[in-house]
Amino acid sequence: MGRTISAAIDDVLTGLRMRRVWIALASEDIGDQHRRTALGPLWLLLNYLIYVGTFVLIFGLGSPEHNFPAYVAIGMLIWLFLQEVVILGVTLFNREENFIQGTTLPLSVYVFRLTMQSLIRTGYAALGCVAILLLTGTMPDASWLWSLLAIVQIILTIPALIIVCAVAGAFFPDLQFIVSNLMRVGMFLTPIFWVHAGDDIRGRLYHWNPFTHFIEIVRLPVTEGQVPVLSFAICLLIAASLWISAIFLLGKFRKQIVFVL
């Protein structure tokens, strides 16, 4: 067990030291995806604004939330980021099969590459989110620092989440279809564009959905000026559980993954 953990930690630390590699690869990937388009990566911003605008237009009328555009903008930003890393994470090692079989790079390099890709894409959407907040009169104040802390917490959790998804997806290829469908449904079960009230079904979904807490640690300090201490604690617990699982899975199956792809 000690060797397993040591090997996994060494893989992650070696991957971190190779940050120039995965940052360059991630940047190149984003450029390649939009190479011959008229707007380039600005399509990422436009897609986000269309998403938010549609939800605000359809569900905004009669909503009890006093600043519904800001509520949706932050909720959608965090959800799209988490949804992307989960769906792409499940197929990560399968997509990188040629590199994994042909090079000796640590597996964590591919994990950090996907993390950086998603951060870059979310960065464009974040510009739109900030613009919506300012246009709706949500001005920055000291409580926004808690949201920045929450964003850092989420970013530090993402590599562990990707490792768990990627290892599981490598051994169970059907998982990509299961996860993809679950995430589509999960969008409507997560308080992105609806507000919970009382102890009804929405209230239960609100409290027992882990995605809720990752959204609220970013959203509540901005929209309500509140610090969701319970959500922060739940997210820390989830992050710790994911990292423990990720280190165990990476150490135990790191050498086997190349043979199952």
User: How does pLDDT run across 175-201, given as a tens digit for each residue?
Assistant: 999 999 999 999 999 998 888 766 778
What is the rounded average pLDDT of the residues 143-170?
94
Per the structure, the complete domain to which residue 125 belongs is given by 2-260
Predicted TM-score of the model (pTM) = 0.92
Closest of 250, 261, 253 to residue 8, by C-alpha: 250
Could you please report the per-residue DSSP string of 44-90? HHHHHHHHHHHHHHHH-TT-S-TTHHHHHHHHHHHHHHHHHHHHHHH
Q: Which amino acid is at 16?
A: L
pLDDT per residue over 6-24, tens digit each?
A: 888 898 999 899 989 889 8
* Predicted confidence band of residue 1 (pLDDT cuts 50, 70, 90): low
Predicted confidence at residue 30, as pLDDT, reads 83
pLDDT per residue over 111-156, tens digit each?
A: 999 999 999 999 999 999 999 999 988 888 888 999 999 999 999 9
* Predicted confidence band of residue 162 (pLDDT cuts 50, 70, 90): very high
Q: What percent of the chain has pLDDT over 90?
A: 54
Closest of 113, 64, 82 to residue 218, by C-alpha: 82
Angle, helix 107-135 to helix 144-171, in steps of 10 degrees: 140
Q: How many domains are there within the chain?
A: 1
What is the rounded average pLDDT of the residues 60-70?
78
